[in-house]
Structure 1
Amino acid sequence: MSLGRRPFTALAVLALVLTVCLAGWSAWRSVRQEDSGREPGAPAPGTSQASPPAAPTAGSPESGEPGEPDGDGGDGGPLRGTVVVIDPGHNPDNREHTREIARRVDIGTGRKECDTTGTATNSGYAEAAFTLDVSRRARDILAERGARVVLTHDGDRPYGPCIDERAARGNTVDADAAVSVHADGSGKGNRGFHVIVPARVKEGGADTTRITGPSRLLGEELADAFAAATGTGPAGYLGPTVAETGLVTRGDLGGLNLSRVPKVFLECGNMRDPRDARLVTDPAWRQRAAEGLADGVTAFLRASGSHPHAGPDNADPPDPTGRPSVR
C-alpha cells in the first residue's frame, strides 16, 4: 500500500523543503568524497571478521538465517559498489547484562545508557529478536542486489553494541546509507510504523548538519517503500504530521547525533497492539518488512546519486509533483 501525497497549503513550503534537503545532500556528498578519498559508491575498506552468530532466541517465531554479519555484494547487481549498514536494535541477550548496558556513554549532546532491552509483545516475543530477524532478511536482499551490507551485530555478542558504537560502525565503513531497525512499545490501539530522521544538531561531539538533508530523503523513500511492501500505514497516534508523512524528527538519539552518514531509525510497528503484534510475529510479514526496508534503501541510493550507475551528473532530482508517496 502506498499512500498518496497530500496537498500542502502552499507550494512555497514544498519548494523550501526540497531546497534544504538538496543543499544538505550536496554538502554531504562533497565533504564525504573529500574525507574518504573515494568516489560515491566505491567500495569502503574491509572490516574485521566476527565470531560465529548465536542461535535465535528460544521460543521465538521462525527466524532468518544468521549467516555472516557482513553481506558482501557480488560483482553483479544494480547496487554493486554501495555500502549499507543495518543496525538491529537492542540485543536478545541484553536482559542478561543489565549492569553492562546501564553504563552511560557520550552521545554528543550528553550521556545516555549504553543500550536497553527494548520492548516485547504481550506474548513475550522480544523486539531484539524481531529486529535481528528483519535485519538479516534485509541484508540478504540488498546483498543479492550487489550492495555490501554490514550489520552492527548478528547475535554474536553478549550485549549491545552501545549506541555510540552503533553510530561509529556506519562512519567507519563510510556507508552510503544506514538504517537502525526497531519496533515501538506504545499502548493497545496504537498502530503503524514511523521513520525517525535526525534533527539539525551541532553540540559537543554531535554535528548532523551535513546529513539532515540526505537522511530525510532516506526517510521519505523508506516510508514510501515500507508502506507499499507491508500494507501498513504510518503511526497516526504520534500526531497528524506523522500520519501524513510517516516521519518523526528527533535530536536526542545518539545513534543519529553521532552519525556522519545518512541514517534513520525505522520503527516497524507497535508490539503492544494485538493486531500489530500478529504482524511482527508472522515470518511472512517480517519478510515483507525486510523487502520494504531494502526497497527504500535502494530507492534512496538511486535518488541521491550514491547509486554507482546514477552519479551526480545524471541522477534524477526528487520529484516535487509526481509519484505516489506517504509524505
Structure 2
Amino acid sequence: MAAAGTAGALGLAGWLGWQALPGGGGGRPDAAASGSLSVDASPAGPLPSGGPSPDGSASPTGRPRPSASGRAVPPADAGRPLAGRTVVLDPGHNPHNGAHTAEIARSVDIGNGRKECDTTGTSTDDGYPEASFTLDVVRRAKRLLEAEGARVVLTQDGDRAWGPCVDERAAAGNREHADAAVSVHGDGGPARGHGFHVILPSRVEEGKADTAPITGPSRTLGLLLRDRFAAATGQAYSTYLGHDGLDVRGDLGGLNLSRVPKVFIECGNMRNAGDARRMKDPQWRGRAAEGLADALTAFLTGPGR
C-alpha cells in the first residue's frame, strides 16, 4: 500500500474517552496462525544492515511461547495471558481483487471524505502479491495469538471473491468489540527506499469518523509494534516515509472509522530488491508474525489492561 503522511494530534480528552470505553486503557511503550500454512522451523538468515538488533527470543510474559519458527505450544491450562481478549487482524487487499475491478473501485465513506472500496495492492517486481504476503503473515500471527489464549478474527481469510471494503474492515473490529486491531500491508514505494513503518490514526472528528477516543491507545500499540517488529525481524525503519518508523494519517478509512485501538504496519517496500527478498522468505515472514504477536501480547497485558 502506498502511503502519504499527515500530522496527528493527541489530546487528554481522547485518552479519557478511551478509558471510559468497555475494556479501555492500554499498555505503555516500555511494557514488555491458524490456517493451512505450514510453519518453517529453520532459523532466519542474515539480518539486513541498518536495522535494530533483534532481541525477541522470549515472549513479553517471560515464558516460552509458540513460534512461527517452531517453538512448542504450551498446554491449554498454562494460564495463557490473552484468555478473554479479542484481536482483529486485517490482511491488506485480496488476491482476487484484480478480477473485480468494478466492485473495488466503488466509492465508500471514510468519515472525512470518500475513497475507493479497496485496491489490488502492490507486488514485488517478479510478481509476488502484497495480498499473498499479508495473508501469510496474518495466518501465522493468528496461530501464535490463539495459542496465548486470544480469540482472533480475520477480516478475510482468502474466503472472499474480493474485498472487503475499507469501511467493512474497520467495522469488523467495532462489531467484535476488539481489544486491538492491526492491518498488515506491504508498501509499493520508490525502489531506492527500504524499511518498514507503522501508521497511527490522526485525530479525525468529522462525519462518521471520531478517532479521539482511540488515538492514545493506538499510539501505545503502534510504538510496541514498531519496537517488537524491528527486534523480531531486524528490519530497518523506513528510509523514504515517516519518522523513526512511524507515520500519522487521517485519510485511511480503516483507521478513521475504527472505534477500537488500531494501527497499520507496512512491513517493507516490495519495490525494493532487499525488502522484496526478505518478504518472499517464509522464515522472515515467520519472524514478522512473531513481532506482530509479541507487540499485541505486550499491549494487551500491559498496565491498565
Shorter-chain TM-score tier: 0.7 to 0.9
Task: Assess, with a 3 A threshold, how the Cα gap between structure 1 residues 194 and 21 changes in structure 2: closer, same or farther.
Answer: farther
Q: Measure, in 1, the Cα distance between the counterparts of 2:146 and 2:123.
A: 29
Residues 104, 111 of structure 1: 8 Å contact kept: yes
Residues 13, 212 of structure 2: 8 Å contact kept: no
Task: Assess, with a 3 A threshold, how the Cα gap between structure 1 residues 286 and 22 changes in structure 2: closer, same or farther.
Answer: farther
Report the Cα offset of residue 304 of structure 1.
Answer: 5.1
Residues 15, 212 of structure 2: 8 Å contact kept: no
Report the Cα offset of residue 110 of structure 1.
Answer: 1.3
Residues 109, 115 of structure 2: 8 Å contact kept: yes
SS of the equivalent of 1:78 reads coil
How high is the TM-score relative to the length of structure 2? Answer: 0.78
- Of 181, 197, 200 in structure 2, the residue corresponding to residue 197 of structure 1 is 200
Residues 54, 155 of structure 1: 8 Å contact kept: no
**In the alignment, what sits opposite 1:295?**
294
Q: Are positions 1:219 and 2:222 aligned together?
A: yes
Q: Are positions 1:108 and 2:119 aligned together?
A: no
Q: Alpha-carbon deviations, 1:26-45, whole Å to 9, x = none?
A: 42131x22xxxxx569xxxx
Q: Measure, in 2, the Cα distance between the counterparts of 1:209 and 1:221.
A: 20
Pairwise CA RMSD of aligned residues? 2.2
Q: Which has the higher helix share?
A: 1
- Of 181, 186, 189 in structure 2, the residue corresponding to residue 178 of structure 1 is 181
How high is the TM-score relative to the length of structure 1? Answer: 0.73
Structure 2 residues without counterparts, runs of 5 or longer: 1-8, 26-34, 38-75
Q: Measure, in 1, the Cα distance between the counterparts of 2:88 and 2:303.
A: 16
Report the Cα offset of residue 23 of structure 1.
Answer: 6.0
Task: Assess, with a 3 A threshold, how the Cα gap between structure 1 residues 203 and 153 changes in structure 2: closer, same or farther.
Answer: same
**In the alignment, what sits opposite 1:284?**
283
Report the Cα offset of residue 162 of structure 1.
Answer: 0.5
Q: Measure, in 2, the Cα distance between the counterparts of 1:112 and 1:99.
A: 14
Residues 22, 214 of structure 1: 8 Å contact kept: no
SS of the equivalent of 1:279 reads helix
Structure 1 residues without counterparts, runs of 5 or longer: 1-16, 34-38, 42-52, 56-73, 307-327
Taking the TM superposition and a 5 Å limit, the aligned residue runs for 1:230-241 are: 230-238=233-241
> Which structure is richer in relative contact order (CA contacts within 8 A, separation 6 or more)?
2
SS of the equivalent of 2:191 reads coil
Percent identity over paired residues = 65
Residues 194, 266 of structure 1: 8 Å contact kept: yes
Q: Which runs of 4+ in 1 moved over 6 A?
A: none
